[in-house]
Amino acid sequence: MPQAPPAAPGLLSRALADARSPRVPRTVPYLPERAFPWGGPGLHPAGAGGGVDLDRVLRLSLAAPRKAGGRLRPVASAGALHPVRAHLLVGPGCSLPPGRYAYDPRAHRAHPRGRAPPTRPPGAVVVLTVTAARTVAHYGHRAWPLLLLDAGHAAAALALAAAPGDVRVSLDADGEELAAAAGLPRAADRQTRRPGVESELPLVAIWLRSADALAPSTAPLTAWAALPCAAIPLPQPGAGGNATPRELFAARHLLTYLSAGADSTWHPAARPTPVTDETLRTRRSAPPPTWRTHQPPTCSPGSWPPPRGPGRTAPPGPRPSAATPRAPHDHAGPSPPAMPAPPSPTGRRASGGSVRQARCWSPTAALPTPRRP
């Protein structure tokens, strides 16, 4: 496998400390979402295929409801920026014909990007990539952990939507293999082969296995990675947007470094019993209940409780602090499963090995806890 890009000792620990520091990111104008870069007519993912219903899976996870303007989607995203893109590697037994596709969440269409390999495995593999420019423009040096979280949220949403089918998630797949399987340029060729197109950094793969498979494969990416790059995205002048070039380069370098791995590990994912399709379809976050029954506290930084007086009552409960859990959010429908705390994204490199650290925190107990070195 290709080696990770060179990195100075302590790169990740320093980058994480900087992201958590009080240093304020540089303020830049809001960068609007760019047009979908893959041209050509798109196919609706519904069809008379097999056991993997891609229409249902994508509607319950990544699709953008039109009435919400595209920003409010079933999957969470920092700042509602939604930098995650999905590439579908479709084999037999799916509601789409076999082939490579780029998924457009706003139109809920799959744009063909090439043929499938002759030895394609049954089912579909979803390769999740991130585009860093908008998140970096908004969050600066704090963007790269948020991009990892966004990818983890998207992976969890797909896994929950695809259940109760046979779903496998790989959080440690090699980024170069993911890029080759999705028909994207490798790290060294991103700027030279596709100038004017924002780089997509592959991070995660979700394998939706078909129930018709006689013998499940252990390497669903191998056959796809042997194909050449196919369709070319449309050029987007100024793809870097308002992001600071240094911070954008640093974020891309860190994500490329973290995505260098060895053999993929595929973990089974299951949907918790209380979660239904209706839960996924209607889930939305809301302000904590106390915000509805109490007036917002007015107090100077560091003072608590707020001053009392006519119409001013202190919210009940203990004095808040950084360690105080937030009030539970309201959800439409049954409550989702409790979320485990995210592991620290400080990756370490073993001598002679590769980064074996979870790149994306999975925001649901249905997905496995990533391995550490």
The tokens of 253 are what?
Answer: 């370098």
Q: What are phi and psi of 224, to 5 degrees?
A: -70, -35
Mean pLDDT computed over every residue of the chain? 74
Residue 333 in domain: no
Cα–Cα distance for residue pair 227/158, rounded to 1 Å: 25
Write the pLDDT tens digit of every residue in 18-69. 999 999 988 677 777 877 888 778 999 987 767 889 999 999 999 988 776 6
Residue 296 in domain: no
Residue 46 in domain: yes
Residue 360 in domain: no
Of 288 and 139, the structure prediction assigns the larger pLDDT to 139
Which stretch, 26-35, 237-246, 359-368, has highest mean pLDDT? Answer: 26-35
Distance between terminal CA atoms of the chain?
18
Residue-range definition of the domain harbouring residue 71: 11-20+42-261
Q: Which of 367, 5, 369, 373 is nearest to 186 (CA)?
A: 5
Write the pLDDT tens digit of every residue in 300-338. 444 444 444 444 444 454 443 333 333 333 333 444 344
Q: How many domains does the chain have?
A: 1
Kind and range of the H or E run holding 104: strand 99-104
Residue 293 in domain: no
Q: What angle do CA 159, 163, 167 make, to 5 degrees?
A: 60
Name the amino acid, one letter, at 92.
Answer: P
Whether the pLDDT of residue 371 is over 80: the answer is no
Whether the pLDDT of residue 104 is over 90: the answer is yes
Residue 1 in domain: no
Write the pLDDT tens digit of every residue in 117-166. 988 888 999 999 999 999 999 999 999 999 999 999 999 999 999 887 78
Whether the pLDDT of residue 355 is over 50: the answer is no
CATH number for the domain including 172?
Answer: 3.40.109
Residue 169 in domain: yes
Edge-to-edge strand list for the sheet holding 166-170:
109-114, 99-104, 84-90, 124-130, 201-209, 166-170, 267-269
- Position 202 scores a pLDDT of 95
Check: CB of residue 20 under 8 Å from CB of residue 342.
no
Residue 270 in domain: no
